[in-house]
């Protein structure tokens, strides 16, 4: 049971929306959402992890196949929204500064 919990935690941190948008470069987050063909045009830095997760879910289905073609099951992404929300709240002073200084993360094509 402990091993499963540790694996789940490692997977979530690797794909966590907050890690993708705060720790990694803007290009990584942008390319990831481009790859998903997300309809989002930009991700604001304030609560960027939660926004990233919802943008990740906001992508077209691929040729009538199920949504899991695009990546992890929606339930995992929704669980990550909770974790990202907590981390985004802790990082709020930093992300407020970054939003003011750098603006939103633009998802270019």
User: pLDDT, tens digit, for every residue of 11-21?
Assistant: 555 568 888 89
Q: What's the rounded Cα separation, in Å, for the pair 109 and 94?
A: 28
CA distances from residue 29 to 1, 3, 10, 36, 53 in whole angstroms, order as listed: 32, 29, 19, 11, 11
Give the pair of three-digit tokens for residue 50. 């939660």
Residues paired with 93 in a beta bridge = none
pLDDT for the residue 64: 52
Q: What's the rounded Cα separation, in Å, for the pair 81 and 54?
A: 8
Q: Is residue 45 over pLDDT 90?
A: yes
pTM of the model: 0.77
Q: What's the rounded Cα separation, in Å, for the pair 51 and 107?
A: 13
**Bigger pLDDT: 89 or 77?**
89
């Amino acid at each position: 049971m402990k091993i499963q919990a540790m694996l789940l935690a490692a997977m979530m941190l690797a794909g966590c929306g907050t890690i993708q948008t705060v720790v990694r470069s803007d290009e990584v987050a942008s390319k990831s959402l481009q790859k998903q063909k997300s309809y989002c045009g930009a991700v604001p830095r304030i609560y960027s992890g939660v926004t990233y997760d919802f943008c990740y879910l906001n992508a077209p289905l691929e040729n009538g196949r199920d949504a899991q073609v695009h990546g992890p099951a929606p339930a995992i992404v929704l669980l990550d929204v909770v974790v990202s929300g907590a981390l985004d709240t802790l990082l709020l002073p930093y992300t407020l500064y970054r939003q003011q200084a750098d603006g939103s993360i633009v998802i270019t094509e």
